[in-house]
Amino acid sequence: MSSSHPFRDVIVCLTFGTLAATASAQADQTKTENGWTFEISPYLWMSGVRGDVGVFERLPPSSIDVSFGDIFNHIDWPAVVFVSGEAWKGRFAILGDVQYIKLKASASTPGPLFGTGTLVQQNFHSTIAGAYRFIDSPKITVDGLAGARIFYVNNELTLTSALLRGRSGSSSDAWVNPVIGVRGTLPFATGFSVDGYLDAGGFGISSDWTWQIYGGVGYRFKKWLTAYAGYRYLDVRHRNGGFLYDVTQQGPVLGIRFIF
């Protein structure tokens, strides 16, 4: 991947955004003069990938199964972006989450026509939602969310020979799903907190379904700085002609949240 790839520009912007967030936070301000509160959270999602991916109608779907233990052998680390952000005013907020990851994996294909399949996949998705804080107390916060999840997937699939001669193909697709969700936080006086998140969408619009769940713990070092760790699971099924994307992604999450 060339250095001019737009997603690498995102990494540069994220770096400067993080530095700016830190500088603002060191002034010990958690609200702007007009009452807004902002958060930015660079993180790493060490996800495995499992499911079925199809490229063209004339090619059978290929099963992939990249476990978490093998993840470091399949991620193209320079081509990874994970960042989320929030903008709050009172009980209302705008939330955003962006993921880009490039994977390469090999697996057997169903049936005797071909041998193994090698898939190079570029996967981008972003969730944008509005939120309302239904419960806001020192003991618990609960937010309701509604928005959209945007997907872009590009697959390059190569099949080795068996009964039929080997062949290759590539295809890409983009789609948007409505999503609704809920999340909650249980803070403790020690600085620790327990966080949970659940959303669901699709509903037959652009894809059959998509749903996501996250659970984790956080520790607040400063008023403006929190570190967190957890586990995230994402499931999506989408078919468009010969294009099939029926996969799950799951794995540990490590991140830092800046508030300013």
Please count the structural domains in the chain: 1
| Bridge pairing between strands 36-45 and 75-89 | antiparallel
Q: Is pLDDT larger for residue 163 or for residue 186?
A: 186
Of the ranges 36-45, 117-126, 157-166, which is most confident?
36-45
Residue 76 lies in a domain: yes
Residue 40 lies in a domain: yes
Residue 56 lies in a domain: yes
User: What is the residue whose two structure tokens read 């969700």?
Assistant: 181
pLDDT for 210-230, tens place per residue? 999 999 999 999 999 999 999
pLDDT band at residue 157, thresholds of 50, 70 and 90? confident
Q: State how far the Cα of 133 lies from the Cα of 90, in Å rounded to an integer.
A: 9
pLDDT band at residue 255, thresholds of 50, 70 and 90? very high
Q: Is pLDDT larger for residue 149 or for residue 52?
A: 149
User: What is the residue whose two structure tokens read 């007009």?
Assistant: 34
pLDDT for 54-91, tens place per residue? 766 666 777 888 777 776 777 777 778 999 999 999 99
For residue 88, the model assigns a pLDDT of 97
Q: State how far the Cα of 86 lies from the Cα of 82, in Å rounded to an integer.
A: 14
Q: Is pLDDT larger for residue 38 or for residue 110?
A: 38
pLDDT for 87-134, tens place per residue? 999 999 999 999 998 877 776 677 777 777 777 778 899 999 999 999
Q: Can you give the residue range of the structural domain that contains 24?
A: 6-259
Strands, E assignment, the chain:
36-45, 48-54, 62-66, 75-89, 92-108, 114-136, 141-161, 167-187, 192-201, 209-222, 225-240, 243-259
Both structure tokens of 90 = 């009172």
For residue 212, the model assigns a pLDDT of 97
Please give the full DSSP string across 129-182, using - where no structure is assigned: EEEEEEEE-SS-EEEEEEEEEEEEEEEEEEEEESSS--EEEEEEEEEEEEEEEE
pLDDT band at residue 32, thresholds of 50, 70 and 90? low
pLDDT band at residue 5, thresholds of 50, 70 and 90? very low
Q: Does residue 154 carry a pLDDT above 60?
A: yes
pLDDT for 164-176, tens place per residue? 777 777 778 999 9
CATH of the domain at 116: 2.40.128.90
For residue 30, the model assigns a pLDDT of 52
Residue 84 lies in a domain: yes
By the 8 A CB rule, do 24 and 260 touch?
yes
Q: Is pLDDT larger for residue 235 or for residue 16?
A: 235
Q: Average the pLDDT over 33-54 and give the result.
A: 88
Q: State how far the Cα of 197 lies from the Cα of 185, in Å rounded to an integer.
A: 9
Residue 193 lies in a domain: yes
Residue 1 lies in a domain: no
Q: What is the pTM of this model?
A: 0.76
Residue 42 lies in a domain: yes
pLDDT for 191-207, tens place per residue? 999 999 999 998 887 77
